[in-house]
Amino acid sequence: MRSNTLTLRSIAAILALTLLAACKPQAECGPAAAAVDAEAEEQAIRDVIARMEASWNRGDFRGYMRGFANPDVVFVSRGEFQKDWQGTLDHYIRDYGGSEEKRGKLHFFDIKIEMLAPDAAQLISRYQLDRPEKPQDGINTRLMRKRGGHWVIALNHVSSRELP
């Protein structure tokens, strides 16, 4: 009986040590890796926004729209839903296209990102649109989704005002 108890204790000790050894690398890598991954994902999202800003400022509305889910983006502006991706593009071309003065210079700033899941993040930022007539500033609230390895805006809500 004593040898059975000793054997069971030995097996239990080996099992406990094996589990502890297996868990230790995960404990060391888990939170740190998650923080590194979150930082990398946040930077990838910031890169999307920077590319969108650059596209707008050179008059490339299609390039700007690459930052949005296509075709199913939900876009809310001026208290209304835009139709979809194409409707949003049409809105930009209609209301901001034609000349550099009409388009203005766009700048996003005070960008705050909260990772919600590996494939979802909330982004809130301010923006300013400098142009001779009807300059604007406002706030964007965006639900970012990772699709096909790329971050896109799935839901965009704009609260803007014209500046005097």
Residues 5, 13 contacting (CB under 8 angstroms) = no
Question: What are the domain boundaries of the chain?
Answer: 36-162
SS3 state of residue 122: strand
User: Does 21 score more than 60 pLDDT?
Assistant: no
Rounded CA-CA distance 161/121 in Å is 25
Given this model, what pLDDT does residue 33 score? 46
149, pLDDT greater than 70: yes
CATH of 36-162, one of 3.10.450.50, 1.20.1740.10, 2.30.30.60, 3.40.50.2300: 3.10.450.50
pTM confidence score: 0.77
Q: DSSP code of 105?
A: E
Tally Cβ neighbours within 10 Å of residue 140. 19
